[in-house]
Structure 1
Amino acid sequence: MPNPFTPNHVHLIQACYPQSSATLLNAGPEYRPNSQELSRLTYYAANKPGKITKVGSELEKRVRTDCKKAQANNTRSRASLLITLSILKALATECRRDIILLSSSILASVQVTVTSLPSDLEVLARAATVFTAWTTYTDGHVIGVDNGVTRDYLSSLQQFANFSRMNGKVKDQEVRNRMRLVGLSALTGAVASEALYSASQHFRPQVSIIVPALLVPIYEARVQTLDKVSSVMKEKPASPYLDEFRTRPLNERRAASIHVHVDGENGPSAEDVTDACLRVLSSVFAHSNGAQVGFIMQAIFDSLEDTKGWEKPDHCCWLARKATDWTQYQYRYAVPTRLVERLQEAQDIPMTTSLHTTLAAMITAVFTSPTPLVNLSTSDIISNLITLILRRVAMDPEDSMLPALVECISSLGMHVYYADQIQDLAAELISRLAVVEVSGVSGGEKADKEKCRAKALRCLLSGLLGLLQAADSHDKANSSGNDLAGDHSKAGGMPGSPQPRSPVEGSDHTHVKPSRRTKVSPEVWQDTLTLLCDGDYGVRQDYTFAVIYYLEKEMPKRGDSTDADGVRRVRPLAEGPLRQASNASVALVGDGASRFLNALHSYLYVLATASSLGFSDASRTSGAPSTSGDLTTDDDAGASDDLASQSHRRSVAFPARARKASVAQHLIDRTSSHITSTSCATASDYAHILAILSAVHQQLPARALLTGIPMLLSLDVASKVNSTEDPVLAQRQAAIKEIEAKVWMVVGKVWDCLDIGEMLKQANAPLDTSFLPSLPDAPGTFLSRAAEPVLFGQTNVAVESLLSFSLDLEALVTCLVSSGNVGEATGLVQESLQRRLTMQWTPEFAMKESIEKPSNGLRSESILKIAPTLMHAENMSLASLSRFNRGVGVTDLREALEGRNSMSNPALVNKAPSISTFDHSSMFTQPNDRLTLRPTRSRPATRPQVAGSSEVRDMLNRLGIGRQNGNSSLLKASLAPLQKTDNR
């Protein structure tokens, strides 16, 4: 007989269990409560919310009692525990509106169960079902408010995470996979629950528990398996082992039921576990915002640190790409940003570890993936990477991490989202190049200052070149095959031209999003030309490849280019009178490309003749150009890098042109009018000069003629020295003669001037042989080791044959200017072109021409003095300045006689008298006085003026009274300058 003092809710709970012990043991394998009694209990709890807490406490008490006995292998208590967990699951489902009242009991029961019986797979599956039911219906607000609930929730989450990454504790692989799937099912409920996202301060602790449990099975699988499973995920969203998470509102949600695998069937495979892990990880990325993605990435970093996951770069790169792909479109920028920040945190570790190389590879993998990245601050990314490169170079110039960092910078060119992005990134790199070139690298030993400086310059140069090449490959992926063939044909004709390298070696991912970007302007690139005369040969060689690539692929041609066969042809339809007038203007005034070529030829001349290269110590300590345009000294050189990384992102303030000119003047001062045996240029440097000059004439033929031929003639004059007693000087002469002959050969081919080729053959110029060393191939990998230069005296080629021939430069110039193609392309007549090409050229003159001159607007009197032949007779806008809209009468003659005619046209003369209010009181000080403004002149009235004779004569001519000139016209009269009237 039941105890009459037992509470009603206890009677209802007891009725859900089998009444006898035998029936309790035979309740398996389902172990379900009595369905009719369970309905009564749930109806009672749902209609009396005040009793829910008592029901939950009673069930929690039973769970604790049964767990203790089940630990001692009590089968009845184990069966009772399974039934109790089913009752809790039913109550959570039916009382979902008041789930907060059951939260404490449910989470405490789950925590006790998974802690007491961690190896009982059936009990764990039933506990995971209860946990998933709670995570399905909770709003998460109780987390952080109730300390007990928060503690039990995090403890249960940790236990399920431990089951997910269980490895060596369970020997049976099938049992281990089942255990992992049970844990992953519980984690699936937590990831899709509001408990994870309700409070930002509780997101990080939960993610720190969930993410490490997911990475262990992922890193155990092969990358091929991961690719296969991720592709299946897109085709089949639902998992065969886990029910898809709810997609309905709270009242219509259905909690998933987790079942143990049926005996007799094939057990779950490792691929099934991997599939479950990827689904949970993709879900947590897909539901997170930018800040939360940062917490997830930090949890990944911590897990990889603990499990030595950095030693698996392929898995890390795969994970970085997938994390970017899974994240919401507007928050994807958080993944690469956090990767760069993590790399910066490890920048002071002296030895390069797998952490450094793997992080750099992950950054490159994200930037080279086809996944678009919006809201990404590329300027901040590249600034941080540059700062990291300079820091690593200062620690060790031979750091093995440097090529990977250069590759990271280059990969930024694969994502172009606005027209000026590549130009802005190139400007950031060039501004740092200017600082490092003059100031060097802060930190490090004094003995390694030059080595660190050269290494830093080469790293930044390689990053700049790789950035342009990645952007070009990004565009070429969408171009037609004909365009690609044309580009390769033009590049193939260039002697010593570098071939484009792949932006990421060994990468199978190609970003094919189309983009229309702005080319890097010559004004931006011009600040790097001083590297042609750097003191380190490795820097000079790398810059030769960079400037040739810029001339071929990047520099805006603006109509000045050659055809596919390398010949400059004039197109009558495309290059009509307007184009010829524009070319003539460029020849007389110049543009950005012409100024760039003037500076380039000046530095090439300095390289060929200077007695020393590079910067002296005095010039470095006196003042260095910084990205802000200020002077920096050795004391604050270390802070210049940080300053550059924080300011001038989109519009980098370059060093002033005047300062660059002063730096160039230091180099020009070391040149002489003739080459000497003490000149610093090596045989390899002369090979660089030949390659650059050939590229200039091939890519910009018209501008190259006007800026390069005078320099070539001046270089010939500098090479005419007596070298009979100095073999090194003789070899220098031979090198310059070879440069002249081969450059003239290129000029003749470009302008289709066959007579130049015939003249070179008649002079026995060695066009087929070469005294100069051949240029090495362009580096196929980032930051390859610099080759040693070939010095004069190391070659056994006889120079007598090179010194025996003599070029008639005057005849070559005459032949060139007489070519019809040259005249039509430049817009100059033969005599003017002859004078332009044979003018006296000096590097100082070219450097002055490379500085943009300030443009002053035309003054009004200059407009009125324009020749009438340039203005059409019916130009009403100009004629209206001095024409009258009414007839001319006696009044006009009287005004002309009195000197007031010049005041009658306000469009030409502004002589309106000023009005002064000095003798009037303010309306605010005396509001009652109704004062009217009486105009008072601010200067005394002058006596009437008498018109000049020319003005009166003009008026008489207009009236038809004076002498009429047959050739006079109204337009001529209207354009005649006005004469000031004299005071009487």
Structure 2
Amino acid sequence: MHIPFTPNHVQLITACYPPSAALLNSGPEYRPNSQELSRLTYYAANRPGKITKLGSELEKRVRADCRRAQAGNTRARASLLITLSILKALATECRRDISLLSSSLLSSVLLTITSLSSDLEVLARAATLFVSWTTYTDGHLIGVDSGVTRDYLASLKQFAEFSRANGKARDAEVRNRTRLVGLSALSGAVTSEALYTASQLFREQVSFITSAVLVTVFEVRVLTLDKASLMIKEKPASPYLSEFRTRPPNERRAASIHVHVDGDKGPSMEDVTEACLRVLSSVFEHSNATQVGSIMQSLFDSLEDTKGWEKPEHCCWLARKAADWTQYQYRYAVPTRLVERLLEGQDAPITTALHSSLAAMITAVFTSPTPLVNLSTSDIISNLMTLLLRRVAIDPEDAVLPAVVGCISSLGMHVYYADQIQDLAAELISRLTVVEINGLPPGGGKADKEKCRATALRCLLSGLTGLMRAADSHSSGDASGGELAKDHSRAGGAPSHSVSPKVASPTDGLTGGDGMHVKPSRRTKISPEVWQDTLTLLCDGDYGVRANYAQSVLYYLENEMPKRGDSTDADGVRRVRPLAEGPIRQASNASVALVGDGASRFLNALHSYLYVLATASSLGLNGGSISSLSGQSANGDLSVDDSRTENGTGTSEDVASQNHRRSMAFPPRQRKASIAQHLIQRTSSRISASASATASDYAHILAILSSIHQQLPVRALLTGVPMLLALDAASRVDSSEDDTLKSRQAAINEIVAKVWIVIGKVWDCPEITDVISKAIPSLDTPFLPAPPNNLDDLHSPRPVLFSQLDPPPGSLLSSDLDVHMLLACLSSSRNAAEATGLDQEALQRRLSVPWTPESAMKDSIERPSNYDALRGESILKIAPTLMHVENLSLQSLGRFTRGVGVTDLREALEGRNSMSNPALVNGAPSISTFDHSSLTQAGDGWALRPTRSRPARRPQTAGPSEVRDVLNKLGIGKQNGNSLLKASLSPLPKTDNRYARMSA
């Protein structure tokens, strides 16, 4: 009935409702009258100033209907549904002026969902209205209008509660329907500008969404998640939702939310899971790097609240999908934030599920096939090493250590520039050097410092080897995430016959089945100069460190070390290939092998340390030697003043801390040289019973020497055979009275014999094998134990002692092996002669050169080119104190030299010996201010009285001796036998002076 004086906008709204008696019969659609609704929307679209009044009137009706419907009034419920439909129509038709309707619309949505939270039909209609607003809004009111912001956040939080409704008070069908309604509203929010415009509120909104979505994600199995994610990939969302930010408001379409009809089969858990993943994927797809970091932090908070860290398999799946869903240029934010979160808990006294799951998530992201551009691998590995060392310092048996090692190893799966693996390896080796020399800082616990140091070294070594394995797996067709997870226990390497290029990871079965991660790799191999700084670990005092390093260096020799012009055929024989290697190539290879390069210097150092390991009386650095070496200068003098301790004014702790501080001032390479010299001083030209190497150490020596000759035959021939002769000479001792000495002698004899057999096979020289088989017939039954194939990264292996072995056979003790005959057989090998470019006599002389570990260590250091060809002497004579700077370029200190030419002759004739001392003809006399009075005492004149320091001298012509020297250098004058310059033109013939005068 028309009421007089009723405003026009109220009349238009009232006309949209059916009569009061027909409200209940308007179901189940509960739609407003279409003709009157069109009139209302036309009125609002053409009079934007009336939109606020229309919204206020509709909000008033919603408030009244909710109050009555909550009391059980069915007509009020029907009226509420119609009111919500009217609001949706106004929002759609007035989308350009949606901001004028936002306050009333959001207030109506909030009133509805809080008053009738159990009515699914009402919730669906309210969710449809909410999605309409999120579709058309530009988000500028969020964070500006306090009322709109408050109602929006409250509505979003309430829909998030519906998305994680549990089934305790509801059956499964009602629970799934309620979750779908809430997830539909969240889908509108994550595809709206309201989420992304107000950056200060992004974190709060995302926290509501992630906490709701993760409930369903962690309730289902990973297999269900995989199926749902596949459905999302095959059937993407509506293009209106995926392109909402690029479409103008007139072209946007809001989704309608419907509830299943009663009696029909309700939605399954798979449907709910798919809806959850669509919401979560949309959040990542439309976020930048900063926003992705906020999403990850919200996920962490939600996992903490729901104890999701205790499900590592779900956590790994979530981390992989987060990286996959994020935009290509922002994916690096996912692993970066994971590492940062892991670092936040590095000081925890005990390891929790959070640490293990986070480490597994990092490995899962790196081993997934998703590329990660813009990833700062240097920062990642630095943070991971810091975390690893911190956890070791707290507890050397921490359960998270294998997982962190796996994280470091998995970085090798992402190679984006040629030198990346070499750079990462250099950082690992640098940290290895620091830990080897200085140990670990105290971690606040009571752990043994030596045990912490050994565990840290073994973990870093495992990560270094795993990094190479991961990089190699790029070109391997069988390297998948699952295999990477199962091979972490072999990260330390394996013997030559069992090494497989697979990556190591601690998370067995946590990487899932995302397919093969196979990428072509053109990376640079780790250079021997970088790896050479680690060789001192061969002689470390802890056997576990020595064993792990032996496996690592084996893997490096077989798979990583550059082998330019030095390799064997498939059958293990080194042959010269005339078709593949021309004369120039062969000559170049032979020249490199003879003169030496980085690989040759590396082998010299490696042979020196192997000899030390076999013969040294003690290994490693004890507490006193570490401090003493740390406080030594490059020339071996102590740099620590102990006078305070001697005089009683200081304590030993003060001196130790002073030693530690001073040791950090010296470059690591100089300290490495001091360690090497310290180790070499413990060796002897003959083995003794007091040597420290165990039977397992000798087994590692045998494996490494065999690998050297198999992988680098030419370089090993020239650098290793002299060492083999020295090792054989060291075993020639009388061991009749000492069982330990007998065992060591037999071990060295077995090493020498078996390495010679490898040499004979490599150079196709069967005569060597015949000589050895006659001299040592019992070589088929080895005396040394086999090195372990798989070393656990955390549990230190136990060495096999000589006391645990059977007595050595007599042929190994009384060995009649004639090394001179073996050397003659090798020198007569045609393959060896062609590979080295030397004849038999020269090759035998080269191989039999006297060898000592000191000479090999000197040959391992690159010598600068500082020889003056003209003077025949060294032009660099620098005090030893100037050489304490690491990586000092000797070339930069060299004197500038140039050839002698016409300019030098002209300068000599004019009396100018060099450009630095010109004698100008009209040169002005120099003025000296030495005896001038100061300006402050100059009196009234304020002028300087010039004083001539020396009279001007007339230029003096050069003497005959100076000119003669220049002429001799030019080759014009008289030549002597020592001159290195020759005249370019032949001297003119002498003519008769009388004939010359007659001609004149």
Question: 1:941 corresponds to which residue?
Answer: 955
Question: 1:728 corresponds to which residue?
Answer: 740
Using the alignment, how far apart are the partners of 1:700 and 1:634 within structure 2?
A: 44
Question: 1:566 corresponds to which residue?
Answer: 572
Task: Tell me which amino acid in the other structure corresponds to 2:470.
Answer: A
**8 A contact 1:285–1:327 mirrored in 2:** yes
Question: 2:782 corresponds to which residue?
Answer: 770
**8 A contact 1:42–1:90 mirrored in 2:** yes
Change (3 A) 1:533 1:304: same
TM-score (norm 2): 0.84
**8 A contact 1:238–1:244 mirrored in 2:** no
Change (3 A) 1:636 1:261: farther
Alignment of 1:681-700 (within 5 A): 681-700=693-712
What's the CA shift for 1:400? 1.2
What's the CA shift for 1:831? 3.2
Question: 2:760 corresponds to which residue?
Answer: 748
Change (3 A) 1:956 1:260: closer
| 2:713 corresponds to 1:712 | no
Question: 1:842 corresponds to which residue?
Answer: 852
| 2:276 corresponds to 1:277 | yes
Task: Tell me which amino acid in the other structure corresponds to 1:317.
Answer: C
Question: 2:95 corresponds to which residue?
Answer: 96
Task: Tell me which amino acid in the other structure corresponds to 1:82.
Answer: L
Task: Tell me which amino acid in the other structure corresponds to 1:29.
Answer: P
What's the CA shift for 1:344? 1.2
**Structure with more relative contact order (C-alpha pairs < 8 Å, separation 6 or more):** 1
Change (3 A) 1:69 1:447: closer
**8 A contact 1:496–1:776 mirrored in 2:** no
**8 A contact 2:88–2:132 mirrored in 1:** yes
What's the CA shift for 1:503? 3.1
What's the CA shift for 1:728? 0.8
Using the alignment, how far apart are the partners of 1:563 and 1:239 within structure 2?
A: 59
SS of residue in 2 equivalent to 1:160: helix
Using the alignment, how far apart are the partners of 1:638 and 1:136 within structure 2?
A: 65
SS of residue in 2 equivalent to 1:695: helix
Change (3 A) 1:955 1:546: closer
Change (3 A) 1:390 1:94: same
What's the CA shift for 1:621? 3.0
What's the CA shift for 1:47? 1.7
Using the alignment, how far apart are the partners of 1:661 and 1:153 within structure 2?
A: 68
Q: Deviations over 1:374-395 (max 9, x none)?
A: 0101111111111111111111
Unaligned runs of 5+ in 1: 480-491, 644-652, 864-879, 885-894, 922-936, 965-970, 978-984
Using the alignment, how far apart are the partners of 1:130 and 1:953 within structure 2?
A: 103
What's the CA shift for 1:635? 5.1
Task: Tell me which amino acid in the other structure corresponds to 2:708.
Answer: V
Question: 2:12 corresponds to which residue?
Answer: 12
SS of residue in 1 equivalent to 2:833: helix
**8 A contact 1:142–1:149 mirrored in 2:** yes
What's the CA shift for 1:855? 2.3
What's the CA shift for 1:671? 1.4
Unaligned runs of 5+ in 2: 480-492, 633-638, 641-653, 874-897, 928-950, 976-980, 988-1000
Change (3 A) 1:848 1:955: closer
Alignment partner of 2:831 out of 821, 829, 834: 821
What's the CA shift for 1:242? 9.9
Task: Tell me which amino acid in the other structure corresponds to 1:796.
Answer: D
| 2:866 corresponds to 1:856 | yes
**8 A contact 1:545–1:778 mirrored in 2:** no
Q: Deviations over 1:542-599 (max 9, x none)?
A: 1111001100000001111111111111123444443444345435532111111111
Change (3 A) 1:835 1:168: same
**8 A contact 2:180–2:275 mirrored in 1:** yes
Question: 2:156 corresponds to which residue?
Answer: 157
SS of residue in 1 equivalent to 2:468: helix
Question: 2:944 corresponds to which residue?
Answer: none
Using the alignment, how far apart are the partners of 1:556 and 1:914 within structure 2?
A: 58
Alignment of 1:576-725 (within 5 A): 576-622=582-628, 655=667, 657-725=669-737
Q: Deviations over 1:896-919 (max 9, x none)?
A: 9xx759779x9x999986688767
Alignment of 1:427-438 (within 5 A): 427-438=426-437
SS of residue in 1 equivalent to 2:866: coil
Alignment of 1:23-34 (within 5 A): 23-34=22-33
Q: Deviations over 1:740-773 (max 9, x none)?
A: 1111111111111122112112323433120101
Using the alignment, how far apart are the partners of 1:517 and 1:247 within structure 2?
A: 40
Q: Deviations over 1:853-886 (max 9, x none)?
A: 12237656789xxxxxxxxxxxxxxxx98999xx
Question: 1:737 corresponds to which residue?
Answer: 749
**8 A contact 1:243–1:256 mirrored in 2:** no
Using the alignment, how far apart are the partners of 1:683 and 1:547 within structure 2?
A: 19
Using the alignment, how far apart are the partners of 1:861 and 1:580 within structure 2?
A: 34
Question: 1:981 corresponds to which residue?
Answer: none
Identity over the aligned pairs, expressed in percent?
Answer: 69
**8 A contact 2:162–2:178 mirrored in 1:** yes
Deviates more, 1:95-104 or 1:246-255: 246-255
Deviates more, 1:578-587 or 1:528-537: 578-587
Question: 2:806 corresponds to which residue?
Answer: 796
**8 A contact 1:333–1:375 mirrored in 2:** yes
**8 A contact 2:163–2:180 mirrored in 1:** yes
Question: 2:469 corresponds to which residue?
Answer: 469
Q: CA RMSD in A?
A: 3.7
Deviates more, 1:669-678 or 1:359-368: 669-678
Question: 1:70 corresponds to which residue?
Answer: 69
Change (3 A) 1:583 1:634: farther
**8 A contact 1:622–1:633 mirrored in 2:** no
Alignment of 1:458-537 (within 5 A): 458-477=458-477, 498-504=499-505, 505-506=508-509, 507=511, 508=513, 509-537=515-543
Using the alignment, how far apart are the partners of 1:639 and 1:882 within structure 2?
A: 52
Using the alignment, how far apart are the partners of 2:741 and 2:523 within structure 1?
A: 47
SS of residue in 2 equivalent to 1:155: helix
Task: Tell me which amino acid in the other structure corresponds to 1:786.
Answer: S
Using the alignment, how far apart are the partners of 1:809 and 1:457 within structure 2?
A: 38
SS of residue in 1 equivalent to 2:596: coil
**8 A contact 1:422–1:520 mirrored in 2:** yes
Question: 1:646 corresponds to which residue?
Answer: none
Change (3 A) 1:953 1:608: closer
Using the alignment, how far apart are the partners of 2:283 and 2:500 within structure 1?
A: 44
Task: Tell me which amino acid in the other structure corresponds to 2:404.
Answer: L
SS of residue in 2 equivalent to 1:564: coil
Change (3 A) 1:244 1:163: farther
SS of residue in 1 equivalent to 2:804: coil
Q: Deviations over 1:142-167 (max 9, x none)?
A: 01111111111011001111111111
**8 A contact 1:496–1:775 mirrored in 2:** no
Using the alignment, how far apart are the partners of 1:707 and 1:591 within structure 2?
A: 12
Question: 1:87 corresponds to which residue?
Answer: 86
TM-score (norm 1): 0.85
**8 A contact 1:737–1:802 mirrored in 2:** yes
Deviates more, 1:525-534 or 1:816-825: 816-825
Change (3 A) 1:258 1:963: closer
SS of residue in 2 equivalent to 1:686: helix
What's the CA shift for 1:950? 7.6
Using the alignment, how far apart are the partners of 1:32 and 1:574 within structure 2?
A: 85
**8 A contact 2:459–2:794 mirrored in 1:** no
What's the CA shift for 1:408? 0.9
What's the CA shift for 1:804? 2.4
Task: Tell me which amino acid in the other structure corresponds to 1:829.
Answer: D
Change (3 A) 1:854 1:236: same
Question: 1:330 corresponds to which residue?
Answer: 329
What's the CA shift for 1:238? 3.6
Deviates more, 1:373-382 or 1:24-33: 24-33
**8 A contact 1:610–1:672 mirrored in 2:** yes
What's the CA shift for 1:801? 2.6
Alignment of 1:164-243 (within 5 A): 164-238=163-237
Task: Tell me which amino acid in the other structure corresponds to 2:9.
Answer: H
Q: Deviations over 1:414-450 (max 9, x none)?
A: 1100001111111111111111111111124566111
Change (3 A) 1:106 1:757: same
**8 A contact 1:499–1:778 mirrored in 2:** no
